[in-house]
Amino acid sequence: MTTTVFEVGKVNALKPLEGKVAIVTGASRGIGAEIAKVLARNGATVVGTYHNSPKHIQDVAKTIEEEGGKFHALHVDVSVYEDAERLALEVIENFGKIDILINNAGITKDRTFRKMTKEEWDTVINVNLNGVFNTTKAVIEHMLAQNYGRIVSISSIVGQAGAFGQTNYAATKAGILGFTKSLALETASKGITVNAVCPGYIGTEMVAAMPEEVLNNIVSKVPMKRLGEPGEVAQAVLYLIQADYVTGQVIAVNGGLYM
């Protein structure tokens, strides 16, 4: 009888992302902060961007560094194309490459469409959707040149099912799904995978700020009868980063609320 031996090669089973350089936008709190921590724990050098939360990004950096991980914070406004270009240039200058891009930065300005202002529409579009274009555009040539890249964008259940008072937010998150599938087709033969994750209602500060009766109503409709955890979204992102034969896909992390 012969025994087949599978070579792991240079991959560290305990830290499978060792040697990889990852950008996580909007890494100062919530889902973005947890993604940054999970990638660092798995060996990646993580560059996390922040816009309005210097104290929170310092807390993320402290946690990662105390765990022995590598983290670098950069102040970036993803809605500004030149800022996204600067981000990519600084990461390459400091770390030599970009392997992973997690498009997580996002905001909400909720209001019924009848009352929504042009400014509220434009601001959400510029951060949530144009921001994904800006950061992806800034890194894509580098990824193509190295014949490797992992791009994961954080969409939302709202982009799939809609939500009252969130036409601007829903439009951006649905747009991310179309963007993901189209870019995946363009880059599938180039060693780059492009995927998205659609969180449901996750226990972040944003969700916790909802009125209690609204939050209770949401939880009552979730088949699993609870909010999700940021770490559960981060694990889906980690899977997509490591999955070589998965591209153009959307993973829903929503407790069964939308199927």
Which residues are identified as catalytic? 169
d(C-alpha 160, C-alpha 177), whole Å:
9
d(C-alpha 40, C-alpha 37), whole Å:
5
How long a stretch of residues is the chain? 259
| Dihedral angle of Cα 224, 230, 14, 11, to the nearest 10 degrees | 100
170 appears as a binding residue in the annotation: yes
CB within 8 Å of 87: residues ≥ 6 apart: 23, 47, 49, 74, 76, 135, 138
Which of 235, 15, 12, 19 is closest to 146 using CA atoms?
19
105 appears as a binding residue in the annotation: no
169 appears as a binding residue in the annotation: yes
26 appears as a binding residue in the annotation: yes
d(C-alpha 70, C-alpha 132), whole Å:
24
172 appears as a binding residue in the annotation: yes
138 appears as a binding residue in the annotation: no
Burial 140-167 (b: 16+ CB within 10 A, else e): bebbeeeebbbbbbbbbbbbbeeeeebb
Which of 37, 19, 17 is closest to 27 using CA atoms?
37
How far CA 246 is from CA of 188, 195, 250, in Å, comes to 9, 8, 10
29 appears as a binding residue in the annotation: yes
Which residue ranges make up the annotated binding site for NADP(+)? 26-29, 104, 169-173, 202
